[in-house]
Chains A and B, each alone.
Chain A
Amino acid sequence: MARQYVEPFDVGDPPGRGCDDPETVRRAQRDSAAFTTLFDCFWELILRYCYGRLRSWPDAEDAAQAAFFQAVTHLPEFELRPAGGGFRSWLLRVAHNESASFLRLRIRRPALPFPEIEPADPTAGDDMEAIAINDWLAGLCATLSPARRDVIEFRLAGATTKEIAQILGKSEKTVNKLAERAIADLVKRRQEQEGEAA
């Protein structure tokens, strides 16, 4: 048991890599029309990150939208941040804050007059197994402590140690430790679940 994922397999390409060169960012700072390049590059990254946090596509779309609007309006100040990292880190941080707002909103206003259950998954009929695994992973991640969960969410979105450290204002060592403990937590949970199932 518990060996079904041992074989290495293609994990897919990381979204939003290789297009945040400083020149594109500078151009977008001068000319907002050039922002579309950055949007095209990073939209998927940000949407997936928000989805990872919110686990609802409509909310994730809203949060990503809010993040990009913040980004386009605040881009000119971007380089002023003394502790800032690359544009990608900055954008992820913006998305982090925006999705935090959505999480807060859920607590604050749990009741649109319509129930807060997940809408039917639009991928229904595709790969049911993948969806089941995804739900299972989401459930696992939900059990992590907030700090560990933050790190895992950034990790899953494709951020590197250095970027996460910049985003969260923590040292790389701390970030690595949090990720290690998060993975240990997840592995343990998974084993517990398998133990229950066995």
Chain B
Amino acid sequence: MTDRPRSHAEELARYWDALNLGQPADPGALDPDEAAFIQLLVSQARRAQIPAGARARAQRALLRQHARYQTTHQNGGTSMTNGIIAAPGPFAPWRPVRLATPAGRSGRVHQALSWGGALTLATVLMVMFFFLYQDQRNNALIPSAQVTPVASPAATPEAGSWPQWGANAAHTRVASGPGPEGDPELLWSRLAEPSSPQVSIDRGAGADGVLYLPSNGGEIVAIEAASGKELWRSSGYGDTVAIDGDGLIVHGHPGSGASGDLARISRADGHVIWTAETGRINATWNPVIADGVGYTPSGSDLIAFDPTTGETLWRLPLAAPASRGASVAGGLVAVADSQGTMYGVKAADGDLVWSYQTDATIIGHATITNGIVSVNANGGAQDAYLALDAATGSLKWRYATPDGATLLTAAVSETTVYLPAQNGMLYALDAETGALQWSFQAGTSSVTSPALAGGVLFFGASDGFLYALDAATGVERWRFQIDAASNSGVVIVDGVLYLSSSADTLYAIAGSTLAAPTSGTPAPHPNAVPADTVSGDPVTFAWAADGDAQHPLLGPGSLAIDAHGQIWVTSKIGSFFIFDLDGNLLETWGEPGSGEGQFAFSDGGMNDIASILFASDGGFYVADTFNSRIQQFDYQRRLVRTWGTNGPGDGQFLAPVGIAFDAQGNLLVADLFRNDVQRFTPDGVFIDKFGGPGSGPGQFSYPGLTAVAPDGSIWVPDVGNNRIQVLDQNGTFRFAFGAAGNGHGGFSGPSQVAFDGNGYVFVTDQGNNLVQVFDLDGHFLYQFGGLGTGDGQFNSPGSIAINHGTTAVIVDWHNNRIQKFKITGPFPAPAAEATPTS
């Protein structure tokens, strides 16, 4: 031990370490109060009482996940113990996802793909990691070729990769392989860790199943493309990235010792291969590699360098430091300086071919296509997009938006410039003439740099959507909602699209065509739950309805179907929206307020909830949740009576939501905040109540939209406890099923129970964006849905009503719509494993 006196911090650590190791703790030099305070903290942390049954729930859930995992991943002879999979993020789908198997790949990955033909890329990664792992165990050296297939040094990027900023050295943003095909499917999303530097998608690069993303802390973070899992992080080098064979060209982080140097780091683990003192390299100067030569601004020069050694090949002084990185195509290097001059330079020897003076101060990365250098130029008299003749540097055309909006980097195909602007518009211009072909409005503030793949244009926008447009016509193919405004350009690698949001979430979006299981999928385990979408689905999408232009359905809360087959939906605006069974909006009825016959179906932002229950005489009851009362109406919609005031007493309410008739025709009212169920006569006279807060049998944590089974049992979604509780007619606990989980019987906020009359129970699962189907014993049978805005997808499914056992209508809350499904069955038999708990 050392004789050096310990600092106070070390004393504290020593003391706390002893507590945490279960050793005798001597406060030593610590102040007794301080030591006692730490003891208090520690003892409280250790004594906070864990909810009853939590361990058993966790064990069951893990077993279920494990079983599910094994059945979906035991392929290609790879078992769970040596494989890895796409890690399920909070919204990640459970089904195995097929990634692109692009043609023209070379090296080990291609070989692996051709072995089975049907192995998913995830499986390939599994196998590769298995080898890597074995090698590690054998203490063998790991040649980097095993993790990163050797890329050809030629400039042509491997199909499917996005090797550098702008997809290629010409910065066209045209992907070299397909993009997501079919409907968008979330492959994974990755939430930034609060303590970690954010990574940037659009300054990143990707190939062969790995994304290399610069972080704002000056690192490169390598992320497994299939799962979003971090593989490694460089330290001291980052900010820009271009893939060159088995290396990445980056530059030294200005905060580190080697500030602004150019460097090459290993693609396998981020270790530094060479650094070159080329002058200070700026973080916005993305290096490019073309035909085996690297180009980057350096200080106030433009340089060409050998990417394998870092040796400078030529150096051309500019009038001022560059504005952005260079672009290279057809033997020409185009770069702009920060005083508004564009330069055309011979790639071979750095001779200046032409220059063009603009009045702009910020000129973006230029794009070179078909003999035209085009670039966004902002900060001059007018923000404009310029197209210059690549041979002479003369202006061919310029384009400014009608409102003079600031322009961002465009994607440029052979024929068309797709120009995003900070006014929420995307403009398609004829690449030869600059004539406007079409434009598309996406939100009102900003559109991010698009990517073009397979005739489809993909881009994010400040309105929180990812858009896919037909590149030729501008017609929207689909849009996909993300959690906040998109703040990055779109990057496409191996058929999967990546973008990030201003909430620092990274998204990986695959296409349904690629994501759907195919015939190559191995035969399921006998106990396997079926794939979510197969032909002959027992539940099929029929339509989605969101009102009409004058009456958009906003904040749908709860729905019910009346005797005429009309669907009544509560809206947060305080009205009912009434649809026919084909999804046509018939009328809206009701007005907001707290007066008699008025409604409060929303608490003003957080929750849109209420419910409606039809009686056999055509009258109906409304749980007017946020007025803390029940209102009864007759068949002509005339108010009969109102009862309940805000409070905890018998016959009072805090937030009544779940209303249902019991077997005797009395009214059950589940109250979210009281955590109980009260029973009333049809005239509103209090009879009895049951429940109370807690997680034990018969106790509730937010009892939700309750239903009564044909046998009279009462089924209560116990939202906070992630289970469905089944009570007998008297409210006595019978059994419960479900636990926190990601589907297949696991819940994340079960919202409503509905019976189809054929022995099946439908449960909407809000957090998992699923509808799960069970038998009357609580055995999981089937699920459908998934996060998204497409047909049959949900963003927070809430209320559900089933009509005649053949039609389910479901509130899709955050998509502001309702969806109808046809129930045809049959549902699969339950797996052997029992899910109910008692």
Answer yes or no: A29 CB below 8 A from chain B CBs: yes
List the one stretch of B512-520, B543-551, B601-609 in contact with chain A.
Answer: B601-609
B189-206 near A? 1/0 per residue, CB < 8 Å: 001111100000000000
Q: Is B522 an interface residue (CB 8 A)?
A: no
Question: Interface size (A, Cβ < 8 Å)?
Answer: 96
Taking the nearest CB of chain A, how far is it from the CB of B760, in angstroms? 24
Q: How far is the CB of A3 from chain B (nearest CB, A)?
A: 7
Are A175 and B36 in contact, CB atoms less than 8 angstroms apart? no
Whether, in the assembled complex, A15 has its beta carbon less than 8 Å from a beta carbon of chain B, the answer is yes
B43 and A68: CB pair below 8 A?
A: no
Count of CB-CB pairs between chains A and B under 8 Å: 264
Contact B607 A187 (CB under 8 A): no
Q: Is the CB of B719 within 8 A of A114?
A: yes
User: Measured between C-beta atoms, what is the minimum distance from B599 to chain A in Å?
Assistant: 16
Q: Indicate if the CB atoms of A183 and B37 lie closer than 8 Å.
A: yes
Q: Is A72 an interface residue (CB 8 A)?
A: yes
**Is the CB–CB distance between B58 and A124 below 8 Å?**
no
Whole-angstrom CA separation of A12 from B741 in the bound complex: 30
- Can you list, as one digit per residue, whether each of A1-38 has a CB less than 8 Å from chain B (1) or not (0)? 01101111111111101100000000001111000100
Q: Distance in Å from the Cβ of B140 to the closest Cβ of chain A?
A: 13
| Interchain CB contact under 8 A, B694 and A69 | no
Given contacts A5-B40, A113-B607, A115-B607, contact A155 B20 (CB under 8 A): yes
Question: Does B9 count as interface, using CB distance less than 8 angstroms?
Answer: yes
A177-B607 contact given A2-B33, A97-B193, A124-B694, CB 8 Å threshold: no
**A–B pairs, 28, beta carbons within 8 Å:** A5-B37, A5-B39, A6-B32, A7-B36, A8-B27, A12-B42, A15-B46, A32-B66, A32-B81, A44-B55, A47-B54, A48-B45, A51-B48, A62-B748, A65-B62, A69-B66, A112-B766, A113-B609, A113-B751, A119-B720, A122-B695, A146-B194, A150-B195, A152-B41, A156-B45, A172-B13, A173-B9, A183-B37
Which chain B residue has the least Cβ–Cβ distance from A15? Answer: B46
Cβ of A86 within 8 Å of any chain B Cβ, yes or no, is no
Distance between Cα atoms of A7 and B33 in the complex (Å): 9
| A147 adjacent to chain B (CB < 8 Å) | yes
Other A-B pairs beyond A82-B269, A97-B193, A126-B49, 19, CB < 8 Å: A2-B33, A15-B46, A32-B66, A51-B48, A68-B58, A69-B66, A70-B87, A73-B80, A74-B229, A105-B90, A108-B484, A113-B607, A115-B655, A147-B195, A158-B20, A160-B21, A161-B16, A176-B10, A190-B37
Task: Please give, as numbers and ranges, the residues of chain A lying within 8 Å of B49 by CB-CB distance.
Answer: 122-123, 126
Q: Which residue on chain A has the smallest CB distance to residue B703?
A: A114
CB atoms of B32 and A180 under 8 A apart: no
Q: Which residues of B contact A68 (CB under 8 A)?
A: 58, 62
CA distance A12 to B40 in the complex (A): 11
| B12 interface hit (Cβ, 8 Å) | yes
> Pick the contact of B54 from A61, A79, A146 — CB < 8 Å?
A61
At the interface, yes or no: A142 with Cβ under 8 Å from chain B? no
> Any chain A CB within 8 A of the CB of B22?
yes
Q: How far is the CA of A164 from the CA of B208 in the complex (A)?
A: 34
- Bound-complex Cα distance A172 to B10 (A): 9
Q: A61-B57, A80-B136 are in contact. Are A73 and B44 (CB under 8 A)?
A: no
A73, closest chain B residue (CB): B85
Judged by a CB distance under 8 angstroms, whether A91 is at the interface is no
Inside 8 A of B701's CB, which chain A residues have their CB?
58, 119-120
Does B507 make an interface contact (CB < 8 A)?
Answer: no
Contact residues in A for B347 (Cβ distance below 8 Å): none
Q: Name which residue of chain B comes closest to A168, CB basis.
A: B195
Q: Which residues of B contact A103 (CB under 8 A)?
A: 194
- Please report the C-alpha to C-alpha distance between residue A97 and residue B89 in the assembled complex, in whole angstroms: 11
Chain A residues within an 8 Å CB radius of B696: 122
Roughly how many angstroms separate A7 CA and B722 CA in the complex, as a whole number? 41
Which A residues touch B17, using CB under 8 A? 160-161
The reply to whether B605 and A111 contact each other, CB–CB distance below 8 Å, is yes
**Chain A CB within 8 A of B483 CB:** yes
B769 to chain A: closest CB distance in Å? 11
Our pick among A7, A14, A97 for the contact of B20 (Cβ within 8 Å) is: A14
Pair B87/A74 contact, Cβ less than 8 Å: yes
A44-B517 Cα distance, complex, nearest whole Å = 37
A119–B693 CB distance below 8 A: yes
Residues of B near A30 (CB, < 8 A) are: 81
- Whether B39 lies near A9 (C-beta < 8 A) is yes
Give chain B residues whose Cβ lies under 8 Å from the Cβ of A64: 58
Is B476 part of the contact surface with A, judged by Cβ < 8 Å? no
Say how far B171's CB is from chain A's closest CB, in angstroms: 33
Contact of B22 among A17, A122, A168, A187 (CB under 8 A): A17
Contact in complex: B21, A14 (CB < 8 Å): yes
- Is B47 an interface residue, CB under 8 A from the partner? yes
Distance, CA A70 to CA B224, complexed state (A): 14
Query: A134 at interface (Cβ–Cβ under 8 A)?
Result: yes
Interface assignment of B19: CB less than 8 Å from any CB of chain A: yes
Minimum C-beta distance from A97 to chain B (A):
6
| B644 part of interface (Cβ distance < 8 Å) | no
A190 and B48 alpha carbons, distance in the complex (Å): 20
Q: Do A134 and B48 have beta carbons less than 8 Å apart?
A: yes
Docked Cα-Cα span, A109 to B65, in Å, equals 24
B437 sits at the interface (CB 8 A): no
Once the chains bind, are B50 and A47 in contact (CB under 8 Å)? yes
Which A residues are CB-close (under 8 A) to B27? 8
Inter-chain contact B58/A65, CB cutoff 8 Å: yes
A-side contacts of B59, CB under 8 Å: 36, 39
Distance of A17 Cα from B83 Cα, bound (Å):
28
The verdict on B69 contacting chain A, using a C-beta distance below 8 Å, is yes
Q: Which 9 pairs, one residue from A and one from B, show the smallest C-beta to C-beta distance?
A: A120-B693, A12-B46, A119-B701, A156-B45, A180-B9, A176-B9, A11-B43, A123-B49, A104-B191
- Complex alpha-carbon distance, A64 and B739, angstroms: 13
Give chain B interface residues in 363-378, CB to chain A under 8 Å.
none
Give the chain B neighbours of A79 by CB distance below 8 A: 136
Complex alpha-carbon distance, A6 and B191, angstroms: 42
Q: A198 CA to B400 CA in the complex, in Å?
A: 67
- The CA of A48 and the CA of B58, in the complex, are separated in Å by 13
Is B740's CB within 8 Å of the partner chain A? yes
**Interface contact B45-A8, CB-CB below 8 Å:** no
- Asked if A101 is at the interface of the complex by the 8 Å CB criterion, the answer is yes
Q: Which residues of A contact B90 (CB under 8 A)?
A: 66, 101-102, 105
Q: Please tell me if A159 contacts chain B, counting CB pairs below 8 Å.
A: yes
User: B116 an interface residue at 8 Å Cβ cutoff?
Assistant: no
Please judge, given known A-B contacts A69-B88, A114-B672, A147-B195, whether A14 and B12 are in contact too, CB under 8 Å: no
Contact of B46 among A8, A29, A48, A126 (CB under 8 A): A48
Q: Which residues of A are found within 8 Å of B484, using beta-carbon distances?
A: 108
Q: Quick check: is A197 within 8 A (CB to CB) of the other chain?
A: no
